[in-house]
Amino acid sequence: MKEEESGGGRKQGAGPPCAACKLLRRRCPRDCVFAPHFPANDPQKFATVHRVFGASNVNKLLQELPEHTRGDAVISMVYEANARLRDPVYGCVGVISSLQQQVGALQNQVALAQAEVVHMRLRQTLAAAPSSSRGLVASSLSRDINHSQCYYYMDMEEPLWS
């Protein structure tokens, strides 16, 4: 007769072992720390984590964590292991660095687009103003421009005040 765990959990000997126990070729105990996070139908998930961190280290880490945080830890380990396999030197740090560079480039593009909008509005305002008051309009508009935006105007190919 099979022994059942209270609370509707796993039965000993029922169903296939988890992916971790299957890869490690051991019997999957009822209280297996790997079973909730490395199901038998996804063996590659544990294989990747095992290859990078080792089963013993993953086991120790999961046992030290409260049960409600283990799922997030496994997600992080799987992500880091995949990143380490793609880039053995930098891993996740390489991905983060690349994304930060992309964000910086996109922020520069946004700043240049905003500067271009200000430039076009200034040209429209100057074109609409009578010729006798253009200098006055230009000086009042230049005071309204935020000084932090002026840095980006210097990168434009044509002068702002032409």
Q: pLDDT tens digit string along 42-57?
A: 999 999 999 999 999 9
**Confidence at 37, pLDDT banded by 50, 70, 90:** very high
Is the pLDDT higher at 133 or at 25? Answer: 25
60 found inside a domain: yes
112 found inside a domain: yes
On whether both 78 and 63 belong to a single domain, the answer is yes
Q: How far is the C-alpha of 35 from the C-alpha of 37, rounded, in Å?
A: 6
Structural domain total, the chain = 2
Q: Where does a domain end: 65, 86, 107? A: 86
71 found inside a domain: yes
Is the pLDDT higher at 12 or at 87? Answer: 87
114 found inside a domain: yes
Q: Where does a domain end: 35, 61, 86? A: 86
Its domain, for residue 74, covers 19-86
Give the mean pLDDT of the chain: 81
Q: What is the DSSP string of 46-100?
A: HHHHHHHH-HHHHHHHHHHS-HHHHHHHHHHHHHHHHHHHH-TTTTHHHHHHHHH
Q: Where does a domain end: 86, 114, 145? A: 86
For residue 145, is pLDDT > 50?
yes
